[in-house]
Structures are given as structure tokens and as C-alpha cells.
Structure 1
Amino acid sequence: MELPQELVDAILYHIGDLSSLKSCSLVATTFAYSARRQIFEKIEISAFPLPSSNSTGRKFYELLSSSPHIAPLVKDLRIVLIQPNKLVENTPPSHEADSRELSLVLCYLINLTRISLLQNGSKLGGKFRSTKWDSMEDDLKTALVRVFSSSRLEAVHLRGFSIESPRQLLSLFSQAVSLKEMALSRLYFTQYEPWPESQPWRPQLRTLLVNDNYSSACCPYLMNPQICLEHVSTLTLVTTSVELRHKMIQATGVESLHLTVYDRIECTPDTFGANLRFIHSWSGEILDILGTIFETCPPNSPLEHILIDGRIDLQSRNYRNINATIEATVDRLCALRTIEIRTIPEHAILLHNGRRWFKLRYPR
């Protein structure tokens, strides 16, 4: 008796490892499609500046050429541009050698909903390397623009690129009406032409990550009144500018906030907003940021969960009094349910004040 396809799909959905999925694809015809769909749904390929037999981009192109039925199964594509450790004389710009294969791969993949284009994390002269968008081969740029402007595209991640201006960057996605997630990391601008105020840019973004460290600042150029961020509910910010951090938070309807704080965080009651329910921060000094949140978060805030990663000064008087500090403060924040502090090494205890549980992680 054959199993219903829905049951087969449900079984294979809970199989996590690739080798098991490959084995399942050989069991029966009803298993084959569901297993292959999971195997090829998310693909990562690499591209090298010089011809290389190790280029997974080239191998994937050969696979698609011989088995075109695989292409519609791919929904999430991650392209990693690999730079050599040392510069080689007359080395062509990154990805030129594989640009033809990459552009053809992108032409095959008509059902993409997510794409990541990432420069690997190597440094040169103390600075992260970047790939110049305008120096890329025309066929590859054309293929990428087609994907970026697709009405199917829901998520995009760009890291390590040198782009002419914020206007050029945002124009790549001006037609992506389904875009809900965007991550922008280590982007460098050669000019600073902002998005025109006469032209609205209104993707339905729900998740936004901006990392301004080691690169030009994206945050100021996303503050244009014609750029709609009010639907963003999950916001991740890595920036040293307190002012930009405040403006970005206030421009969104953020419910889940993720921050990397390099100095003492500065908060006002407006920082938390009317919708904020979860805050996650990495900080060089956990107790400072925790104390600031407690001091400035308004009593009527809907904040339910606090998660902080970082370091604790074991000699600090605040550290020795941390339990008392939390228990003395939580009654003021009526919606608060959990506080989790994570450090290395980790040790967990639960605090309970009669009504709610609080999870604390701190060194022994």
C-alpha cells in the first residue's frame, strides 16, 4: 500500500541530514520528489577569481545543465565570493572567471525567493575586502538585477560590496514588491547620492539587518521620508552611532530588537517604542546595559523578554547584587517574563518572584 504524498512529505520534512534525504530519494517515486525538493531547496555555491576545479558554482552549473528539472526546486541561493589569501599579479577582479557560469545558474533558477551575495571575510591591509559592483561582468549584473527585481523575491543579503551610491543600491530592489527581509553588511559607497525624495521606495520589509561597522554608514540613507520602514518588526543594528540607532528604532514598528553595543547604551523611554516585546543585545559589559534598560524602560512597556550576551566583571559590586537588582526591578515592568544573561562559561539558574520565572546565565 502506498503512503499518501502528504504523509511522505511530513516524514521527510523532519529528516535533517543530507545523506538520509539522499537515501530516501531512492526508496520510491513518491519519496523522490519530496526528498529532492528538500535537498535542493537551499543551495550554497562558491566562486573564485581564478579558474578552479573546486568552484562549486561551476559544478552546480554542470548539474543544472544535465538535470534542468532540479532548477525549479531551488528557492534559497547563497553565493560566496572567495578571494585568495594573497594577491596574484594580473589577477582579474573577483568572480570574473566564474561570472558566465554564475549568470547561467541564475537564469536557470526561476523560483528563487531568497538570495545572498557574500564576500568572504578576508582582509587586506587591515581592511575587509569588497567587490566592486560596477566592475562585475555585464552578464552577471544583468542576471542579478533580474533576480533582485523579481516579484517572487522575499529576502536578500548583501555583504562586502562597493556600490556607487545608496540610490544605486536601493534601485536594485525597486521592483521587488514581495521583499520582506533585507540584510546589508559591510557596504562601501563611492558617492553619497541618496534615494530621491520624489520617488517612494516601499517594500513590505518585516526584517531588516544593517551592519555599518568597517564600511560606509547605510543607516542615514534609510532615514529618507520616502523610504517606508514602518512595517519592520525585527530589527538588527550593528553601529557605533547612538543617534542613528535611535532614529532607526523610532522609524520602525519594531517588536524584536537586536543590538551590538560597543559603549554604554543610551536609552530614552521612546527607544522601546509601543510594540517592543523582545530585546537582544551583545555588550562589553552586561550589567551596564541591563541597568540602563531597567532605568529607562517605561512601566507600561509591552517588553516581555530580555536576552543579553557579553562579559561580566566578577569583581563588580553590581555583579554580587545582580539577583537583588533584578528582583527589585521586575515588579515595575508588568509585562516582563524572562531575563536571560549568557556569558562564557555558562551556568543557569531560575529566579522566581512568586508570579514569573526569570532565567539567568552567568559564570560560576
Structure 2
Amino acid sequence: MLPQELWDLIIGHLDGDIPSLKCCALTSTAFRPASQKGIFSRIYVSSISPSSYHGHTFGNLYTLLSTSPHVAPLITSFELSLHHQSEASEFEKILLILPLLCNVHRFFLLSATNLIFEWINLPVRVQESLVAFWHASNIVDLRIEAMGHMALGEGSHLRMGGWSSLKHLAILWSYPERLWERNDRDSLPPPQLESLTVGYFNLDLTKHAGLDISFVRRFSAALEIEQNASSVPNIQDLLAQFQDTLEYLHLEMLLHRQR
């Protein structure tokens, strides 16, 4: 048996050939658990065939997870890329993958192109399954990027109360509505975020989502505001929510002139 250090060195040099490396890891008992974890810890999957060899399609990822059950617990970071030209039937395959992901702590949802992927293009069942998965899986780090206008029907909200595991949240070029609406009947406290990043959003995010940002250490935002005096108190109210724990603050103000 080769020393673990040597296997780690080999893996480091093969990192540019991820498919071959993963096939070797599945078939060779020489890869110890620590090496397997390094290979499979982060998985990228796309609704179209990824241009990079680092990614999976929904179909081959499902085959990997269903035929090699020892892989799923190794996946701690999951990146889901959606293409606006994909068929609804392709998105339905997400329903097969999510139940197999049992140890994901970081979840990234993003558009596969530089265009906005409209959340409404996802089948309702897929929307609801994603929301349920985020909450039930104790996600620590959630990033939603370029999903456009995001809303769910009544009774399908992602209740923020009790989601104590969530520590890092980023919402960029996305506009959540009911998806993040807090259930007033939920007596459980909202998550205490350590970092919050919002891009091209309005100042009502924290109120609308029921987020507690008082303990945030890092806050970065690009905020859309009207170019008038009434916007100033709103910004002051936002900044007043932060406590002495704030270590990093980055604000970009996008002004809209009144006509």
C-alpha cells in the first residue's frame, strides 16, 4: 500500500484530468477515504453538457450516485447550473438527484450563461423540492445567482425560523419574493448570519426574509435606490441593524433618477 502522502501528491498532479481521476477512485481500493473525499467533495452539475471536464450532466451524476452510494456522503459542496434553453424534462431530473445528496453544506444555484435564468422556467415541483432541500439539509452556505424573479405559491415558503445552520447567504441578480417570506406564526428564531452578500436588490431584503443580520461579520451589497432624500433614512436603518461584530462592509449605490 502506497503512503497516503504519495497518493495525495498523485491526485494533485492529476487534478486537470478529473474524469479519469474519478473513474480511478471508483474502481481502485488504493484510494483511501481521505483521497476519495478530496476528489468528490465538490460537484458541479449542469442542465446541458458542461464545456469543462469538471462538470456532470444530470444523467451521469445520477448514475454515479445511484451505482456508487459511497460517493454521496463525500459531496459537501454542490453547484447546480441551469441553462435557459434546457427542456423542462431535463430539470425534472433534479428530483432524482436531491434525495441522494445527504451531506451537502454548501449549495450554489446559478445560470449556466451570462444571461438571467428565470426561476419561473423551473417546473413547480422542482422549485418546491429545491426549497425543501435547502432547509432540510442544514445548508450552511447558500448562493443564488442570476435566477431573476423568484416566487413560490402560498404554503410553499422557505420558513427562515429554525434554520439555525445557515451562516453564509449570497443573493445576486435574483429577486426573491414569497420564497423568502417569513411565516409570522413561526416562533423559532431566524438564522444568525455571519456573512451576507446581496447584488442588485432593494433595502427590504432583511425585513422581507426575516433575516437576523445583527451578528453579520461581512456585508457586501449593490443596492438600488431612488435618487431622493427619502432613501437616506432607509440606508441608515439598514446600517443600524449591524452590531460591533461587523468587520467588513462594502456598499454600491445604484441611483435611479426620477423623471
Unaligned residue ranges in structure 2 (runs of 5+) = 226-230
Normalised to the residue count of structure 1, the TM-score between the two structures is 0.53
> Contact 2:77–2:106 at 8 Å: present in 1 too?
yes
Residue number in structure 2 paired with 1:35: 35
> Contact 2:222–2:253 at 8 Å: present in 1 too?
yes
2:204 pairs, out of 200, 204, 220, with: 220
Which structure has the larger Rg over C-alpha atoms? Answer: 1
1:163 pairs, out of 150, 153, 164, with: 150
SS of the counterpart of 1:149?
helix
Question: In 1, distance between residues paired with 2:152 and 2:242?
Answer: 23
Cα distance change of structure 1 residues 67 and 205 upon mapping to structure 2, 3 Å threshold: same
Matches within 5 A, 1:87-236: 96-123=88-115, 128-132=116-120, 136-138=123-125, 140-150=126-136, 152-159=138-145, 160-164=147-151, 171=158, 173-188=160-175, 195=182, 199=186, 201-212=189-200, 217=202, 219-223=203-207, 227-236=211-220
Cα distance change of structure 1 residues 129 and 114 upon mapping to structure 2, 3 Å threshold: closer
Cα distance change of structure 1 residues 193 and 41 upon mapping to structure 2, 3 Å threshold: closer
Residue number in structure 2 paired with 1:58: 59
Residue 148 of structure 1: CA displacement? 1.0
1:15 pairs, out of 12, 16, 20, with: 12
Fraction of identical pairs, as percent: 21
What is the one-letter code of the residue matched to 1:18?
D
Residue 252 of structure 1: CA displacement? 2.3
Unaligned residue ranges in structure 1 (runs of 5+) = 85-93, 264-364
Cα distance change of structure 1 residues 39 and 168 upon mapping to structure 2, 3 Å threshold: farther
What is the one-letter code of the residue matched to 2:194?
R
Residues 72-100 of structure 1: CA deviation (Å, up to 9, x unaligned):
1111111111123xxxxxxxxx5622233
1:252 equivalent in alignment to 2:242: yes
Cα distance change of structure 1 residues 29 and 63 upon mapping to structure 2, 3 Å threshold: closer
Moved over 6 A (4+): 52-55, 165-170, 190-193
1:239 pairs, out of 223, 226, 231, with: 223
RMSD between superposed Cα atoms in Å: 4.0
> Contact 2:41–2:77 at 8 Å: present in 1 too?
yes
Cα distance change of structure 1 residues 53 and 163 upon mapping to structure 2, 3 Å threshold: closer
SS of the counterpart of 1:237?
strand
> Contact 2:163–2:190 at 8 Å: present in 1 too?
no
Question: In 2, distance between residues paired with 1:236 and 1:162?
Answer: 21
> Contact 2:82–2:111 at 8 Å: present in 1 too?
yes
What is the one-letter code of the residue matched to 2:139?
L
Residue number in structure 2 paired with 1:70: 71
Cα distance change of structure 1 residues 152 and 221 upon mapping to structure 2, 3 Å threshold: closer
SS of the counterpart of 1:15?
helix
What is the one-letter code of the residue matched to 1:43?
I
Whose relative contact order is higher, 1 or 2, with alpha carbons under 8 Å and at least 6 apart? Answer: 2
Cα distance change of structure 1 residues 207 and 156 upon mapping to structure 2, 3 Å threshold: same
Question: In 1, distance between residues paired with 2:67 and 2:132?
Answer: 23
Normalised to the residue count of structure 2, the TM-score between the two structures is 0.72
What is the one-letter code of the residue matched to 1:158?
I
Aligned residue pairs: how many?
238
> Contact 2:219–2:250 at 8 Å: present in 1 too?
yes
